[in-house]
Amino acid sequence: MNFLNQKKNGVIENSEIFVETYVLPIKVVVIGAVHIAQYLVDYAKSLNFEISIIDPRGYFASEQRFPDIKIINKWPDEAFKEIDTNENSALIALTHDPKIDDPALQHALNKKFYYIGALGSKKTHKNRCQRLKEAGFSDEQINSIHGPIGIKLGGRSAPEIALSIIAQLVSETYKK
């Protein structure tokens, strides 16, 4: 039995060796300190996620709105220099602003994040995909983005949208 891949503890067969596995928290980078992000962070705090928020707009990304969360008040290109990310990282883009979301999406695609989601309507997502295609990303890469983000719960309020996003994130986490 491969305890590490199954994230389980146990005794190795025909031995007296006990294996205890520890799973590091998954890094989740939220782009945009918007209203939905506040609910998203509340949900994520009780799960095994290490949250960072990137938003160059200090008015939104403040300690008062996001207590005990790593906040980076920089543009994504600069902010990602402060976060070690890899294929075990997740990105949630929430700003609707291509100047902020697109560089973050490009970083996540280049680093092969296991989960990439972006908020916006189908039309917004179609435009986003076109910009990424023009930036040189393949259809396969672009199609890995969950957009519009979240599972379809039918909710419209900020907490309901955040719940649909966190549910999709958890679902994708267990697929990897």
107 domain-assigned? yes
Amino acid, single-letter form, for residue 84: D
Amino acid, single-letter form, for residue 168: Q
141 domain-assigned? yes
Compute the distance between CA of residue 89 and CA of residue 73 in angstroms, rounded to an integer: 20
Quickly list H helices, 32-75: 35-45
pLDDT at 5 over 80: no
86 domain-assigned? yes
| Residue 4, both tokens | 């590490």
Compute the distance between CA of residue 123 and CA of residue 154 in angstroms, rounded to an integer: 18
43 domain-assigned? yes
Compute the distance between CA of residue 131 and CA of residue 137 in angstroms, rounded to an integer: 9
Contacts of 10 (CB under 8 A, 6+ apart): 1, 3, 18, 19
15 domain-assigned? no
pLDDT at 1 over 70: no
Whole-number pLDDT of residue 24:
75
pLDDT at 137 over 80: yes
Compute the distance between CA of residue 146 and CA of residue 125 in angstroms, rounded to an integer: 9
CATH number where 167 lies: 3.40.50.720
Q: How many structural domains comprise the chain?
A: 1
80 domain-assigned? yes
Name the residue range of residue 150's domain: 23-175
Per the CB < 8 A criterion, the answer to whether 119 and 96 are in contact is: yes
The model's pTM: 0.87
Over the stretch 51-84, which tens digit does the pLDDT of each residue have?
999 999 988 898 999 999 999 999 999 999 999 9
Whole-number pLDDT of residue 136:
97
Whole-number pLDDT of residue 114:
96
Whole-number pLDDT of residue 79:
97
Whole-number pLDDT of residue 10:
82
pLDDT at 116 over 70: yes
Over the stretch 6-52, which tens digit does the pLDDT of each residue have?
667 888 888 888 888 777 788 999 999 999 999 999 999 889 899 99
Task: Give the residue, 9 or 142, on which the prediction is more confident.
Answer: 142
31 domain-assigned? yes
Compute the distance between CA of residue 51 and CA of residue 174 in angstroms, rounded to an integer: 18
Per the CB < 8 A criterion, the answer to whether 80 and 100 are in contact is: no
62 domain-assigned? yes
